[in-house]
């Protein structure tokens, strides 16, 4: 009986933890019906090898995130925004990722806290906006959004100058990230 109780507790723990992550859904701009062979290939989109295009809507449980544009040379904009902003570390450059966040949940939340945009480079390392702290022009803020509320802003990330990576967009705090092209 004791062994059965241990097994049941273990199964309950696994079931509850598996509900923590969520796989986002994605709609791409001009998403038309495709033949079966293309649909099978499209199923692999959202990976580092085959990222979604800019303008795709990444939908999580409570957020829709659209990457509108990526300024691949954000150094001048960062420098102009605040005289105390530091330059990007040697071998890196700042990119500015402009995104629109729409809250689809039932209460209220902030995109700054509940979503994330990172850069995954060719060196297989993730670069985050928190790695180098600067005042970002037109930054996404701590706006509290209610159901249907939307805001647009920039996220700055110091990345390798090779610019050989992709964005990882996580549309919910504990959701799974998907990959979006930078061009």
66-110 pLDDT, tens digit per residue, is 999 999 999 999 999 999 999 999 999 999 999 999 999 999 999
In this structure, the dihedral spanned by the alpha carbons of residues 173, 143, 166 and 72, taken in order and rounded to 10 degrees, is: -160
Give phi and psi for 38, each to the nearest 5.
-70, -35
Q: For residue range 16-38, what is the model confidence (pLDDT) as tens digits?
A: 333 445 667 788 787 555 565 66
Query: What pLDDT score does 14 carry?
Result: 35
Apex 51 CA angle, 48 and 54, nearest 5: 140
**69-74 CB contacts, 8 Å cutoff, 24+ apart:** 69/97, 69/98, 70/95, 70/96, 70/97, 70/98, 70/167, 70/182, 70/183, 71/95, 71/96, 71/98, 72/163, 72/182, 72/183, 74/156
- CATH class, domain 22-180, is mainly beta
pTM of the model: 0.79
């Amino acid at each position: 009986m004791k062994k059965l109780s241990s097994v049941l507790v273990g199964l309950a723990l696994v079931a509850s933890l598996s509900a923590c992550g969520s796989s986002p859904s994605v709609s791409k701009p001009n998403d038309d019906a495709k033949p079966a062979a293309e649909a099978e290939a499209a199923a692999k989109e959202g990976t580092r090898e085959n990222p979604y295009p800019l303008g795709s809507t990444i939908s999580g449980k409570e957020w829709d995130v659209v990457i509108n544009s990526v300024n691949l040379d954000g150094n001048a904009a960062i420098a102009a925004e605040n005289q105390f902003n530091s330059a990007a570390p040697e071998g890196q450059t700042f990119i500015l990722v402009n995104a629109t966040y729409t809250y689809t949940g039932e209460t209220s939340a902030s995109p700054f806290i509940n979503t994330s945009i990172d850069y995954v480079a060719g060196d297989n390392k993730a670069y985050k906006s928190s790695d180098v702290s600067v005042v970002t022009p037109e930054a996404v803020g701590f706006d509290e959004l209610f159901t249907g509320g939307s805001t647009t802003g920039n996220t700055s990330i110091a990345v390798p100058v090779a610019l050989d990576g992709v964005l990882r967009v996580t549309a919910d705090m504990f959701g799974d990230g998907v990959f979006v092209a930078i061009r």
